[in-house]
Amino acid sequence: MKTTLMYKIVNLLFKWENLRKFIFAEVDYYNSISRTLADPEEMKTASVIWCESDGWRGWHIKDNGTYYFHDLPEKSLSDVFDIIYYKEEEKQHAM
């Protein structure tokens, strides 16, 4: 009984093409996160860059485990990329 109900629900949800594509995209997204978390090489370096209404922000974890979060809005993606990857490295080499 429960199995039949589950099939009916799944068939009903997958009837709509846009919803089906969204579900598969979500599954693929979570699978990619699982693959990244399971791979020690992938976990050595991590970064995120995103855009908010007032500009771009980002954070980065380097190979040595140092963490840098840039929360000041930047005008372009390349500006925040340069800041979190290169300017922080220059500061560390100057010390």
- Shared domain for 60 and 26, answered yes or no, is no
Mean pLDDT is highest, among 1-5, 9-13, 46-50, 82-86, for: 9-13
Top-confidence residue, 5 or 69: 5
Report pLDDT for 45. Answer: 65
Report pLDDT for 35. Answer: 84
- Shared domain for 49 and 93, answered yes or no, is yes
Report pLDDT for 95. Answer: 55
Q: How far, CA to CA in Å, does 11 sit from each of 15, 29, 62?
A: 6, 22, 45
- Shared domain for 12 and 53, answered yes or no, is no
Closest CA to 45 of 15, 21, 67: 67
Count the domains in the chain: 2
- Shared domain for 35 and 49, answered yes or no, is no
Query: pTM of the predicted model, to two decimals?
Result: 0.45
Angle in degrees, CA 76, 79, 84, rounded to 5 = 130
- Shared domain for 34 and 52, answered yes or no, is no
Task: Note the pLDDT tens digit of each residue in 20-60.
Answer: 999 999 999 888 878 877 887 776 667 788 888 899 888 88
- Shared domain for 49 and 82, answered yes or no, is yes
Q: Which two structure tokens, joined as six digits, stand for 93?
A: 């080499």
**Domain that includes residue 85, residue range:** 44-95
Angle in degrees, CA 85, 61, 93, rounded to 5 = 50
Torsion (CA) 89, 35, 33, 70 in degrees, nearest 10: 0
- Shared domain for 30 and 51, answered yes or no, is no
Closest CA to 84 of 32, 92, 40: 92
- Shared domain for 82 and 63, answered yes or no, is yes
Give dist(CA 41, CA 52) in Å, integer: 30
